């Protein structure tokens, strides 16, 4: 089986979110299942500046009434072959997204993917496209390449990582695409890249079973739920995994003291003590909440704002939170740190080193998301013996078993409704369990660390889908 992943980002080369983690890990897992999985992505300035790839050749694509040059570069990382599409016009920029011509940039990338296959002489059995930036590929493949035998047999999978971001642009985009009008592209008198991917791919997937069910509703579907309903029998939810080699507390160079399941009761307190010291907090045996997140509406930070002072006033809990994003949330964190310097610390920005230390050193990991297609933080936290506290949505609901005080089952804590009072109640439940029920807490840690969220199971499910559409 030959699979080519098409994506706008991938770890370790260029990353803004969870998509990069998926593309960096899933192909590697598929290699272990005798699948020749490769990746193609833009050759961004940040990759080019590190001189990480070698030139393979070039081609041209027609876009915006001109023939546009594309270079193709190659690198290998952890056994996976990576191809990079080079264009000074579109990708020689400091950022990945957020430009006024993003529609044209990623339309070019979609065209370039199909031409690049000739340059590298790799024609996959399956093109696995991801998020709106690659949504045009199944459509262009069917429209422009069905005459060619090496392309005609290629099947497509389209994966939705976050339906909120759809790639919506004015109808003028049709002129830029240099293609005839199609109802697969049009949505409310605009061009919608994601709609094209949904309708034209052989199979559509998303990143958890619960999120699949959610996006079929008006509440979570961002107006594409009716379009997804047309693909109901070809729509699958497959839970993401985590890279268990990268996220391994027994072999993590970023944490203070390595540990595993057998030594967690010694390892976690040692990491907690060192984390508190690094952030200038007293090393007391009190519940320590951690958060590593983009500071955006999706992440449920607004639920923390009206209740966190109550938690500080009426408990002994401490907080170490890391993230960046909306100024209102960043300023709130800074304000809390100023008011409660002995209880609340924040790191505005992102650091892999600090993130790993939060996972290893905290007791409770906060993810009160408004919606969460899959989420990786809760799985990483459990890997490090830190109990996630999550809202029951998307992949959070699929991965975290809420603590049951009567049966002692669970791998974390959860609440159902997007409501600050529910969040406060479950935070106090976690605090009380830590303070008053040490045996139960220890049991929860062990149950969380026993969970297997590696990519192996998910990769097997993808292999089944690939076989289903190619046989």
- CATH code: domain of residue 302: 3.40.50.2000
Per-residue pLDDT of the chain (471 residues; tens, 9 = 90+): 999 999 999 999 999 888 999 999 999 999 999 999 999 999 999 999 988 799 999 999 999 989 999 999 999 999 999 999 999 999 999 999 999 999 999 999 999 999 999 999 999 999 999 999 999 999 999 999 989 999 999 999 999 999 999 999 999 898 899 888 889 999 999 999 999 999 999 999 999 999 999 999 999 999 999 999 999 999 999 999 998 988 999 999 999 999 999 999 999 999 999 999 999 999 999 999 999 999 999 999 999 999 999 999 999 999 999 999 999 999 999 999 999 999 999 999 999 899 999 999 999 999 999 999 999 999 999 999 999 999 999 999 999 999 999 999 999 999 999 999 999 999 999 999 999 999 999 999 999 999 999 999 999 999 999 999 998
The H-or-E segment that residue 267 falls in is helix 264-278
Residues 277 and 129 in one domain: no
Give dist(CA 411, CA 386) in Å, integer.
9
Burial label, 174 (beta-carbon count in 10 A; 0-12, 13-18, 19+): middle
Residues 284 and 165 in one domain: no
The H-or-E segment that residue 27 falls in is helix 18-31
CA dihedral for 83, 86, 92, 93, sign (positive or negative): negative
254 occurs within a structural domain: no
227 occurs within a structural domain: yes
Give the domain extent around 33.
2-241+455-470
Residues 235 and 287 in one domain: no
Residues 122 and 204 in one domain: yes
- Strands 364-367 and 387-391, by their bridges, are parallel
258 occurs within a structural domain: no
**Does residue 373 contact residue 209 with C-beta atoms inside 8 Å?**
no
Residues 232 and 282 in one domain: no
253 occurs within a structural domain: no
- Strands 288-295 and 190-192, by their bridges, are unpaired
Q: How many domains would you assign to the chain?
A: 2
Question: For the whole model, what pTM was predicted?
Answer: 0.93
**Does residue 139 contact residue 196 with C-beta atoms inside 8 Å?**
yes
Residues 236 and 268 in one domain: no
247 occurs within a structural domain: no
Residues 299 and 230 in one domain: no
Which tokens sit at 41?
A: 């992505």
Residues 420 and 459 in one domain: no
Residues 234 and 314 in one domain: no
DSSP letter assigned to residue 10: B
Residues 162 and 294 in one domain: no
**Cis-peptide, bond into residue 187, ω within 30° of zero:** no
Residues 198 and 343 in one domain: no
**Does residue 460 contact residue 452 with C-beta atoms inside 8 Å?**
no
259 occurs within a structural domain: no
Residues 460 and 442 in one domain: no
Which whole-number Å values give the CA distances from 52 to 77, 121, 437, in the listed order?
A: 10, 21, 51
**Does residue 82 contact residue 23 with C-beta atoms inside 8 Å?**
no
């Amino acid at each position: 089986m030959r699979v080519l992943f098409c994506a706008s980002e991938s770890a370790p080369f260029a990353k803004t979110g969870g998509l990069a983690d998926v593309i960096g890990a899933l192909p590697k897992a598929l290699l272990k299942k005798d699948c020749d999985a490769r990746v193609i992505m833009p050759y961004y300035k940040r990759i080019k500046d590190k001189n990480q790839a070698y030139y393979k050749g070039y081609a041209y694509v027609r876009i915006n009434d001109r023939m546009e040059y594309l270079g193709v570069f190659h690198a290998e990382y952890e056994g996976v072959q990576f191809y990079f599409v080079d264009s000074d016009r579109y990708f020689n920029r400091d950022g990945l997204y957020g430009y006024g011509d993003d529609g044209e940039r990623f339309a070019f990338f979609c065209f370039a993917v199909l031409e690049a296959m000739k340059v590298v002489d790799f024609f996959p059995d399956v093109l696995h496209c991801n998020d709106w930036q690659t949504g045009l590929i199944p459509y262009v493949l069917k429209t422009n390449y069905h005459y060619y035998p090496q392309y005609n047999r290629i099947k497509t999978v389209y994966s939705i990582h976050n339906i909120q971001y759809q790639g919506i642009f004015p109808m003028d985009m049709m002129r830029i695409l240099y293609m005839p009008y199609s109802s697969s592209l049009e949505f409310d008198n605009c061009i919608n890249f994601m709609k094209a991917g949904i309708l034209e791919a052989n199979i559509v997937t998303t990143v958890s079973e619960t999120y699949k069910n959610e996006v079929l509703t008006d509440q979570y579907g961002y107006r594409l739920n009716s379009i997804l309903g047309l693909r109901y029998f070809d729509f699958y939810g497959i839970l993401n995994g985590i890279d268990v080699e990268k996220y391994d507390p027994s072999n993590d160079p970023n944490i203070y003291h390595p540990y595993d399941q057998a030594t967690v009761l010694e390892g976690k307190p040692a990491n907690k003590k060192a984390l508190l010291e690094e952030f200038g907090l007293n090393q007391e045996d009190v519940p320590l909440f951690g958060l590593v997140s983009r500071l955006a509406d999706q992440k449920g930070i607004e639920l923390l704002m009206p209740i966190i002072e109550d938690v500080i006033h009426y408990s002994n809990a401490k907080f170490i939170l890391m993230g960046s994003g909306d100024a209102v949330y960043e300023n709130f964190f800074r304000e809390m740190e100023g008011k409660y310097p002995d209880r609340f610390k924040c790191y505005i920005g992102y650091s892999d080193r600090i993130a790993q230390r939060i996972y290893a050193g905290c007791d409770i990991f906060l993810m009160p998301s408004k919606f969460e297609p899959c989420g990786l933080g809760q799985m990483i936290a459990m890997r490090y013996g830190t109990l996630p506290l999550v809202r029951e949505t998307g992949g959070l609901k699929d991965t975290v078993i809420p603590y049951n005080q009567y049966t002692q089952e669970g791998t974390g804590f959860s609440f159902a409704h997007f409501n600050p009072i529910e969040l406060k109640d479950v935070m106090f439940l976690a605090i009380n369990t830590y303070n008053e029920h040490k045996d139960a807490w220890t049991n929860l840690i062990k149950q969380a660390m026993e969970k297997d969220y590696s990519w192996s199971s998910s990769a097997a499910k993808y292999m089944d889908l690939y076989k289903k559409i190619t046989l």
